[in-house]
């Protein structure tokens, strides 16, 4: 466990999820693994949060109210201020088309819900590692 | 035997068609000139010969003319016979063409029907697969909570958060699992209902129904959800409403679904269910109007919500009415049809919505036999 690390050292995750129980559950489980988690409930809040306090990675649900995850991802990737933040799309949709659309919208990887935490952590670490080669 | 044909030829006023013994001859200036020249030459030769030879010349001139005339008659008879045969064949061909045009028109309209049927089948198949994909999404959402909270509790038990960290009562986590489980059960019940309705295997129990009692019971069921949103519920029933003959369980299910969806989209507002006889229609009809002061919705979502090819909750979940409603409104539309009525929706973004359900006093016989 990484509790010993200072607050500033924790990798920051922006969790974008409209289903409150799912968001709370994921947030707590990620916090237990030593991540600092910020939560928002829709795509437009995600864009605002990505600019206000840029996280190290964004976990993005795709079906969201107000602005969906595909649109939010494409905005975040189009903006030079937030382009470098890796986005891991989270979808409850098992059909490949939705996942392909996520990649096309600029997401760096896709994982499915229900969450397999070991698999999800592997993908998060891979994206964080790719971002910071040092 | 010489008649002038009325129609001018392709050369316009320069040529005139003339019928000679049933054969059409076209006079052009050039042809007239040739004929005139030939007549003149013949006359000059004849006069010259007559001067030299007298009556012999006359006989010599007339004989070929008589022979030519006889030969011409034989020729004309043949031409006329041929023309009659050709006319018969032409009439026959025209008859065939007319028959073919008729057959072609029939084929064309059959083709239109086939392509319409194909479009309907394709739309149905597309809606079915979109429905399945959306259903899979809807089922996975509560499962994410169920599996996630169960795993979280295992993790917390094995590795409790440090003393300083905020602790969450495990009973609350169990409640999350129960809620998601109940939601999942509701979805599965809806799915079974929908498939029973589509297979025509949902039997109706037709009996006298106290409309006000059923309406009140449906509203009571959504009262806790309305209270949680600070929304008030109102029931307006026309006085002295005679009982319907219908299926009380299904009527309650219809009203519960529409009231539930109205409450879901209305924060600190009002949801009203008004029940009255529909005087605009002939026969005995009841109209149930469910109006809310919620967010309303754009026309395309409105149509999709109660359409025949309902695809389940929309992809981007902007439509909060359908979100969490599961299959409620798709079932409602089919139940209304089963009871012999229909459902309509009026809404503008920002101005709330009114769902109107019109049901007959008694369902048609065909509905009750299934």
Look up the CATH number of domain A12-128.
3.40.50.2300
Question: What's the pLDDT score for residue A131?
Answer: 63
- φ/ψ region of B340 (left if φ > 0, alpha if ψ in -120 to 50, else beta) reads left
Least confident of A13-22, A113-122, B93-102, B155-164: B155-164
What percentage of chain A carries pLDDT values higher than 70? 90
Residue B196, C-beta contacts closer than 8 angstroms, at least 6 positions apart: B202
C-alpha to C-alpha distance for A8 and B357, rounded to whole angstroms = 59
Kindly determine whether residue A65 and residue B147, on different chains, have CB atoms separated by under 8 Å: no
Alpha helix ranges (H) inside chain B = 29-53, 55-158, 170-198, 211-228, 248-264, 299-305, 328-338, 365-369
Q: Which of B27-31, B47-51, B107-111 has the highest mean pLDDT?
A: B107-111
Which SS3 state, helix, strand or coil, does residue A38 take?
strand
Which residue in chain A is spatially nearest to B322 when comparing CA positions?
A65
Which residue in chain B is spatially nearest to A70 when comparing CA positions?
B316
Which whole-number Å values give the CA distances from B29 to B4, B33, B35, B37, B38, in the listed order?
16, 6, 10, 12, 14
Of A1, A21, A68, the CB nearest to B180: A21
Number of CB pairs < 8 Å for A and B?
Answer: 77
C-alpha to C-alpha distance for A106 and A82, rounded to whole angstroms = 12
CB atoms within 10 A of CB A100: 11
Question: What's the pLDDT score for residue B83?
Answer: 94
A interface mutation test: which of B316, B318, B319 has the most A CBs within 10 A?
B316
Residue B85 in this model has a pLDDT that exceeds 90: yes
The tokens for A126 are 């891979």
Distance from CA of A88 to the nearest CA of B (A): 17
Distance from CA of B109 to the nearest CA of A (A): 38
Of B151, B161, B318, the CB nearest to A117: B151
Residue B118, C-beta contacts closer than 8 angstroms, at least 6 positions apart: none
C-alpha to C-alpha distance for A67 and A44, rounded to whole angstroms = 6
- Decide if B178 contacts A54 (C-beta within 8 A): no
- Decide if A53 contacts A94 (C-beta within 8 A): no
Contact residues on chain B for A95, CB-CB shorter than 8 A: 133, 136
C-alpha to C-alpha distance for A39 and A36, rounded to whole angstroms = 10
Q: What is the DSSP letter of B241?
A: P
Is the CB of residue A117 less than 8 Å away from at least one CB of chain B? yes
Contact residues on chain A for B161, CB-CB shorter than 8 A: 32
Contact residues on chain A for B159, CB-CB shorter than 8 A: 1, 32
Residues B142-171: pLDDT tens digits?
899 999 999 999 998 888 766 666 677 889
Distance from CA of B159 to the nearest CA of A (A): 9
The model's confidence at residue B87, banded by pLDDT at 50, 70 and 90, is very high
The model's confidence at residue B317, banded by pLDDT at 50, 70 and 90, is very low
Distance from CA of B354 to the nearest CA of A (A): 22
Interface of B with A in 165-224 (CB under 8 A): 168, 176, 179-180
Give the residue-averaged pLDDT of B67-74: 87
Kindly determine whether residue A19 and residue B147, on different chains, have CB atoms separated by under 8 Å: no
Question: What's the pLDDT score for residue A134?
Answer: 39
The model's confidence at residue A48, banded by pLDDT at 50, 70 and 90, is very high
The tokens for B242 are 């005679």
C-alpha to C-alpha distance for B248 and B250, rounded to whole angstroms = 6
Of B137, B155, B323, the CB nearest to A93: B137
Nearest to A17 by CA among A53, A52, A36, A45: A45
What percentage of chain B carries pLDDT values higher than 70? 82
B interface mutation test: which of A17, A33, A65, A92 has the most B CBs within 10 A?
A92
Residues B252-290: pLDDT tens digits?
989 988 888 888 878 888 999 999 988 777 778 999 999
B83 or B62, which is more confident? B83
Say which residue the tokens 């009262």 belong to.
B223
- Decide if B225 contacts B263 (C-beta within 8 A): yes
Is the CB of residue B228 less than 8 Å away from at least one CB of chain A? no
Residue B66, C-beta contacts closer than 8 angstroms, at least 6 positions apart: none
Run of H or E residues at B324: none
Domain ranges of chain A: 12-128
C-alpha to C-alpha distance for A93 and B174, rounded to whole angstroms = 25
Q: Is the dihedral of CA A116, A117, A122, A123 positive or negative?
A: positive
Distance from CA of A118 to the nearest CA of B (A): 12
Question: What's the pLDDT score for residue B5?
Answer: 47
- Starting at the edge strand that comes first in sequence, how are the strands of the sheet with B23-27 ordered? B2-9, B12-20, B23-27
Residue B157, C-beta contacts closer than 8 angstroms, at least 6 positions apart: none
Of A63, A92, A95, the CB nearest to B144: A92
CB atoms within 10 A of CB B320: 17
C-alpha to C-alpha distance for A97 and A73, rounded to whole angstroms = 16
Contact residues on chain A for B146, CB-CB shorter than 8 A: 114
Q: Say if residue A39 is exposed, middle or buried (CB neighbours under 10 Å; 0-12, 13-18, 19+).
A: middle
C-alpha to C-alpha distance for B223 and B231, rounded to whole angstroms = 9
Kindly determine whether residue B136 and residue A28, on different chains, have CB atoms separated by under 8 Å: no
C-alpha to C-alpha distance for B279 and B260, rounded to whole angstroms = 27
Residues B103-143: pLDDT tens digits?
999 999 999 999 999 999 998 888 777 777 778 888 888 89
């Amino acid at each position: 466990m990484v509790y010993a690390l200072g607050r500033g050292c924790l990798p920051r995750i922006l969790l974008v999820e409209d289903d409150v129980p799912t968001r709370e559950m994921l947030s707590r489980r990620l916090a237990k693994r030593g991540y600092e988690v910020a939560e928002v409930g829709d795509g437009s809040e995600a864009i605002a949060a990505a600019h206000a306090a840029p996280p190290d990675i964004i976990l993005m649900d795709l079906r969201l109210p107000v602005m969906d995850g595909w649109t939010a991802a494409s905005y975040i990737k189009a903006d030079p201020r937030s382009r470098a933040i890796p986005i891991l799309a989270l979808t409850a949709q098992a059909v490949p088309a939705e996942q392909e659309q996520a990649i096309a919208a600029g997401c760096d990887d896709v994982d499915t819900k229900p969450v397999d935490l070991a698999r999800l952590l592997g993908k998060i670490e891979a994206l964080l590692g790719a971002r910071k080669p040092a | 035997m010489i008649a002038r044909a009325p129609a001018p030829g392709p050369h316009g006023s320069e040529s005139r068609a003339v019928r000679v013994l049933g054969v059409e001859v076209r006079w052009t200036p050039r042809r007239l000139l040739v004929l005139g020249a030939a007549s003149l030459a013949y006359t000059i030769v004849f006069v010259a010969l007559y001067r030299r030879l007298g009556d012999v010349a006359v006989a010599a001139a007339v004989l070929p003319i008589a022979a030519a005339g006889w030969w011409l008659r034989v020729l004309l008879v043949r031409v006329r016979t041929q023309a009659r045969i050709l006319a018969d064949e032409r009439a026959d061909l025209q008859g065939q063409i007319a028959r073919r045009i008729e057959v072609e028109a029939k084929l064309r309209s059959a083709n239109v029907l086939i392509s319409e049927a194909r479009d309907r089948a394709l739309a149905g198949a597309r809606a079915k697969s979109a429905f399945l994909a959306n259903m899979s999404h809807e089922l996975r959402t509560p499962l994410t909570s169920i599996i996630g909270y169960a795993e979280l509790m295992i993790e917390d038990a094995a590795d409790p958060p440090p003393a300083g960290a905020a602790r969450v009562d495990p009973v609350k986590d169990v409640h999350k699992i129960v809620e998601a489980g109940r939601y999942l059960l509701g979805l599965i019940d809806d799915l079974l209902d929908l498939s029973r309705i589509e297979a025509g295997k949902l039997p109706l129990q037709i009996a006298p129904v106290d409309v006000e009692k059923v309406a009140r019971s449906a509203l009571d069921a959504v009262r806790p959800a309305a209270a949680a949103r600070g929304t008030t519920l109102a029931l307006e029933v026309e006085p002295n409403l005679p009982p319907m003959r219908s299926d009380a369980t299904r009527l309650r299910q219809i009203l519960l679904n529409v009231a539930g969806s109205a409450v879901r989209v209305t924060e600190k507002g009002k949801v009203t269910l008004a029940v009255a006889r529909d005087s605009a229609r002939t026969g005995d009809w009841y109209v149930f109007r469910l109006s809310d002061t919620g967010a309303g919705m754009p026309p395309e979502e409105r149509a999709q919500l109660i359409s025949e090819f309902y695809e389940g909750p929309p992809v981007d979940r902007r439509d909060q009415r359908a979100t969490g409603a599961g299959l409620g409104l798709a079932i409602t539309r089919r139940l209304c049809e089963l009871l012999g009525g229909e459902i309509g929706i009026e809404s503008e973004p920002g101005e709330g919505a009114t769902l109107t359900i019109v049901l007959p006093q008694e369902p048609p016989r065909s509905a009750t036999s299934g």
